[in-house]
Amino acid sequence: MDEDRSPDGLIVDCQLRAGLELLAHTWDPLVIVALRGEPLRRRAVKDALGGVSDKVLTEALHRLLANGLVTRRSFAEAPPRVEYALTPLGRSLLDGPLRAVGAWLAGHADELLAAQDAAQAG
Amino acid sequence: MDEDRSPDGLIVDCQLRAGLELLAHTWDPLVIVALRGEPLRRRAVKDALGGVSDKVLTEALHRLLANGLVTRRSFAEAPPRVEYALTPLGRSLLDGPLRAVGAWLAGHADELLAAQDAAQAG
DNA sequence: CCGTATCCGTATTGATACTG
DNA sequence: CAGTATCAATACGGATACGG
């Protein structure tokens, strides 16, 4: 499924970095999680994330749009309404890597905390 | 395997962020990948990553040590020798989330590029 | 409500030079 | 070789105020 074609791992590493950059920015993954259900209005996304500034939220949404992970739909109504939703690609990222991270932490949280304590004590 | 205990996703999100922080720093995941085989000396790790400064490499290694993802073994020899290796915890992170990211990108690289092009054009 | 513009504090990266 | 110290550049997250 994933041949390790490069002897020294450089090619694999570069692919890995490209993928990690999608998750590197603080709020991007959280926006994806927030959109796992229904499409949400901008304000709803902001509330779901807790305390995030308008500027940072806009940047995150633009990145996600630029990478084709979410879609933006604008309705021409009196009170402006815009809805963001996951694309199939965005959903695959949620169901794959993102869920893998969550599952890993759920299964190794105790080990991680123990290791952190041990390292701090030593 | 992963119950979604929080109705609004906040708990899940926090766990996710804790896990993502382990992968957020630029070089940390790459160091883990570099150590997937044998234990490596500091210099060997540095070379494996390409062009990384001593300072940044030290910071990355210290973080990985503090989180119990790698071990450091020092040999009392004439030319100083230090070897870094993955812990079982670090290896589980490599085999789980890290591999998931790599596999996802390998399987969706074409979609990602197409979406990026489309977004740029529109 | 949606989104942009401006300004700021901090964190991260990195180059360089130096010590054990 | 291993690791630290110092300094510069910049990217990031964020608060605030303003415009569509």
CA B106, CA B91: separation in Å to the nearest integer?
21
Please report the beta strands in B36-75, taking only residues with DSSP state E, as ranges in sequence order.
40-41, 70-75
Sign of CA dihedral B70, A1, A100, B119: positive
Is residue B96 within 8 Å of A104, Cβ to Cβ?
yes
Please write the tens of the pLDDT for every residue from A68-108.
999 999 998 888 999 999 999 999 999 999 999 999 999 99
Extended strands (E) in chain A: 40-41, 70-75, 81-86
State how far the Cα of A63 lies from the Cα of A23, in Å rounded to an integer: 11
Segments making up each domain of chain B, as ranges = 14-121
B42: which 2 tokens? Answer: 């500091």
CATH architecture for residues B14-121? Orthogonal Bundle (1.10)
Is residue A87 within 8 Å of residue A52, measured between CB atoms?
A: no
Write out residues 73-112 of B within 8 Å (CB-CB) of A: 87, 89, 92-93, 96-106, 108-109, 111-112
Residue B2 has a pLDDT of 40
* Cα distance between residue B86 and residue B91, in whole Å: 6
Q: Give nucleotides in strand D with any atom < 7 A to a protein C-beta.
A: 1-6, 12-17, 20
From the list B13, B68, B112, the residue facing A30 with the nearest CB is: B13
Distance (Å) from the alpha carbon of B18 to chain A's nearest alpha carbon: 8
Question: pLDDT truncated to tens, each residue of chain B (122 aa)?
Answer: 443 444 445 556 778 888 999 999 999 999 999 999 999 999 999 999 987 999 999 999 999 999 999 999 999 888 899 999 999 999 999 999 999 999 999 999 999 999 998 887 76
Q: Is the CB of A65 under 7 A from strand D?
A: no
* Residue (of B113, B101, B108) closest to B23 by Cα position: B101
**pLDDT, position A15:** 80
pTM: 0.89
Rounded CA gap, B112 and A103, in Å?
24
